[in-house]
Amino acid sequence: MPSNNLSSSLPQHIAIIMDGNGRWATLQGKKRTAGHQAGGKTLKKVVERVFQLKIPYLSLYVFSVDNWKREKEEVSFLMKLIKQFYKEEFPSLQKQGIRIVHSGVYPPLSSEIIMLLQKIEKETAHNEKGTLNLCLNYGGRVEIIEGIKKVLQDNIKPEELTPHLFSSYLFHPEIPDVDLLIRTSGELRISDFLLWRLAYAELYFTDVLWPDFNEETLDHALQTYQNRERRFGGIKK
């Protein structure tokens, strides 16, 4: 059962790198797509738990700009899961008042997926109970480059550019910096995820493969976060 001992000092923004679906499937003697299917079930439970705890922002690394290098069958299956997410999970999130946004670039996503993402954003735009940020066809360097392009287009002078101003050129600038990054499967890297917003995030790595991640594992990550001291470059007084 999820812990009931979590204090009020919860993160405002959690980001998750959902890693290990393929390895989970291999250990089960199944195809990688079976791992992604199982990972989708985990996703549902974790999203429910995060917003149950009234954590305002959740960012999920759904598909990176580098994931197109994977086998065509796997990429196609992942895109089907996105459509499945809309069909099966969107009504519940809409009812809960969760806003869903997309961070990333559109090409080479299919027109069907692009229209679906736009539809989800539009239909949940006025929801205020939490924000689910789907990072799809996303890359941290890409986000920064896209921001630089907008800065140049606006003819911002070098002396005018500050970190605060540049933040307004990122994807969905209303989303705050990440407080807690969780990565599953034992990999110890951030893989080009939310590079700007991770500047002062607490990092939590676990050997648990994503399909085996659950509400209890999430609560443990949150308890670990609460036991850390965040100084943001300062010193303890």
The pLDDT assigned to 222 comes to: 97
Cβ within 8 Å of residue 64, ≥6 positions away: 135, 137, 138, 139, 191, 192, 193
Share of the chain above pLDDT 70, in %: 95
Q: Cβ–Cβ contacts within 10 Å for residue 3, how many?
A: 12
Q: Would the pLDDT of 142 be above 80?
A: yes
Looking at domain 13-138+177-226, its CATH architecture is 3-Layer(aba) Sandwich (3.40)
Of these residues, 4, 66, 67, 192, which one is catalytic?
Answer: 67
Helices (H), the chain: 21-27, 32-52, 72-88, 90-96, 111-124, 140-153, 163-167, 215-226
Q: Are 176 and 131 in contact (CB under 8 A)?
A: no
67 has catalytic annotation: yes
The pLDDT assigned to 140 comes to: 98
Cα–Cα nearest to 43, from 136, 139, 142, 114: 136
3-state secondary structure of 2: coil
Is the pTM higher than 0.85? The answer reads: yes
Q: Would the pLDDT of 4 be above 70?
A: no
Q: Would the pLDDT of 17 be above 60?
A: yes
19 has catalytic annotation: yes
pLDDT tens digits, one per residue of 59-77: 999 999 999 999 999 999 9
Domain boundaries, the chain: 13-138+177-226
Mean pLDDT within 201-209: 98
Q: How far apart are the first and last CA of the chain?
A: 37
pLDDT tens digits, one per residue of 82-111: 999 888 899 999 999 999 999 999 999 999
Q: Would the pLDDT of 6 be above 80?
A: no
Of these residues, 4, 19, 127, 207, which one is catalytic?
Answer: 19
Q: How far is CA 79 from CA 2, 31, 66, in A?
A: 31, 16, 15
